[in-house]
Amino acid sequence: MDFYSNPLPVINPSIPYTGPIPGGLQDGKMIMIKGRVPPHTNRFHVNLHCGQMAHHCDVAFHFNPRYESANYVVCNSFENRSWCSEERKHEMPIQRGETFQLLILVQSDCYKVAVNDKHFLEFKHRIPFSRVDTITIEGQVEVVSLSFINSNIQPAAPAGNANNFNPGFPGFPAPGNACSAGSMFGPPPPANPFQAGSMSAPPAYANPAGSMSAPPAFANPAGSMFPPPAFANPAGSMFAPLALVNLQVPYKALIPGGLFVSRSVVIQGTVKPNCDNFSINLKPSDSLDIALHISPRFRTETAVIRNSRQQNSWGTEERTLAENLFSPGQSFEVTILCEASSFRVSVNGRHAFDFNHRFQPIQQINELQIDGDVTLSNVRT
């Protein structure tokens, strides 16, 4: 990713789910899915694919547990509108009626899959993983959380076991551990991350006054496998992720101290399924001027408008983009980085566009406004 943190997990997504993989795939990146298989499931699948059209794109990795006459897992790829040769494993590590944790590790030559902290299979690359930018989860499955763990930031180890944390992949290097070549970790923690037969509670949400209606979102109950990914700042120190908050729209908040070079604003949310448009504005709080206006539009056109407003007049629109950045019904993460001459904007971990400063001084830009057909889960400044 362009910035140093792991994105926050997607919590309790509706199934079928299709969403971006922030920053795409890199060697060492992990995808973690926690969920439950209902008792009468026939099958479900996880697809890592190239592009947002889930049923029309090339699929680099298709992971498909099947509970039919015999329980087995099918792995495959889909290219040029055709399925390739299946690879079947006649074992079933994910049982009906039980909870599970599925980890997919990207390696230079293959995907490695671990289930409940045990290595399960490998699938050699048929399509370059650099093309993969989207994940789909579909079928008879319940998902509690979907997390993306970047190659340079690993999950925090269980308390008291910092040097022996093992996500289930043989030989996977320990973060910050001076291990000899080929060394292995100690045994993984044996406990299941969920209580038997029940779903993990959803994260707590903060009301507008800031008080919590439940324990902190990422409280680690006794017996959980490991905490969610931590976030790293550029200096390398680790700190706990912010709790998810359910923010009201229209949203308005001051940016303490205003903007300055290298300061960033991170916005996480979901475009409503029938979205017409929404907007993100950065502005001074004491005037009607708008330093940066971002407006994704869907109904009459598909475009992302960028503009500014000064002295009650809108400037020249900018709308040219190489690709569609937002999709109705899909989650997103927008990062706006203030640079000396422009705003540098990334969407889902990929650079989207730059917008040259029209408003000066940038230190007076101290208010964020978000409005329209969007739900917000988190804002960080």
Q: What is the pLDDT of residues 263-316, one digit of tens each?
A: 999 898 889 989 999 999 999 999 999 999 999 999 888 899 999 999 999 999
> How far apart (Å, rounded) are the C-alpha atoms in residues 356 and 294?
13
pLDDT exceeds cutoff 80 at 194: no
Give residue-wise pLDDT tens across range 333-366.
899 999 999 999 998 888 899 999 999 999 999 9
What percentage of the chain has pLDDT greater than the value 90?
52
- Structural domains in the chain, sorted by start: 1-154 (2.60.120.200), 251-380 (2.60.120.200)
pLDDT at 110: 97
pTM for this structure? 0.49
